[in-house]
Amino acid sequence: MRVYVAFDDTDTLDADRGTGKLVRWFEKCLPEGSTMRGVVRQQLLVDDAIPYTSHNSSACAIIDISDPCRRDDLISRAVDHIEKESLAGSDPGLCVVCHDDPALKELTAFGRLCATSVVTQKDALRAARGVHLSGHGGTQDGIIGAAAGVGLTASGWGGRFIEYGRIREFPNPVSVKALEEKGIHVLSLDRDSLVPGPEDMVVTNGWLRPRHMGFKPVVPVLPRGKNLWESMGKKNRSHKGKEGHNNGRENILP
């Protein structure tokens, strides 16, 4: 059974780690027989009306559990993890939903709303009615991003993988074949949509973060020469937020 576990608002402005890293660490806490398929970062609305640390993003782990009865154990471990690893001064939130839960339709709509509008905790609680949504300190504003993170990730479209098959260990450049062998698809976005060959090389600039497209990790690339491509997207640490709250914004991009 697939389960979506989203965390939000676990860091502070001067933290040495962001919410994304906390979610990636959760892999070490999984129950026996569970597998973390990946972690997807979801970008929410950037607006002065929203308190934040730096980027207003949440992170959602995609987890496969061998036995549906382990769901409650997974939730308990997630609660322990967020309470242990979240930082003082943050407003942590947690949302856990199984892939076949009818509530996902409402959560997906809520997630899309969070990408364009200012919403409230009441809106999040309404969208997550019947599923696990909990706050773990501070104002508990993190329940907003956590609910949105689950909804957007469960839709299968949007966000980027900040963990998938040890993406940080790939060399730069890396062959298309090496990526595809790990289940990562390479998609050309050039005008003619030329299909990259298996022996073609992809320049990652040391920052490989596949997009979440059609429930799969996809690396969009542009041509940079014969048999050479470059992945889109670069690391960005320039966006700063307000002190005191973070509403899901990561202080450091994973």
Whose tokens are 């429930």? That residue is 215
Q: pLDDT tens digit string along 61-102?
A: 999 999 988 999 999 999 999 999 999 999 999 999 999 999
Q: Which amino acid is at 110?
A: F
The 10s digit of each residue's pLDDT in 123-173 is 999 999 999 999 999 999 999 999 999 999 999 999 999 999 999 999 999
Q: How far is CA 96 from CA 3, 12, 148, in A?
A: 7, 23, 11
Enter the tokens of residue 230: 């470059």
Write down the pTM of the prediction.
0.90
Coil, strand or helix at 170: coil
Q: Looking at the DSSP assignment, which residues form a beta bridge with residue 160?
A: 41, 211
Domains and CATH numbers, the chain: 2-161 (3.30.70.2200), 170-231 (no CATH)
Which amino acid would we find at residue 10?
Answer: T
Question: Measured between alpha carbons, how far apart are the two ends of the chain, in Å?
Answer: 27
Q: Which two tokens stand for residue 44?
A: 């929410």
pLDDT band at 54 (very low <50, low <70, confident <90, very high): low
Whole-number pLDDT of residue 235 = 79
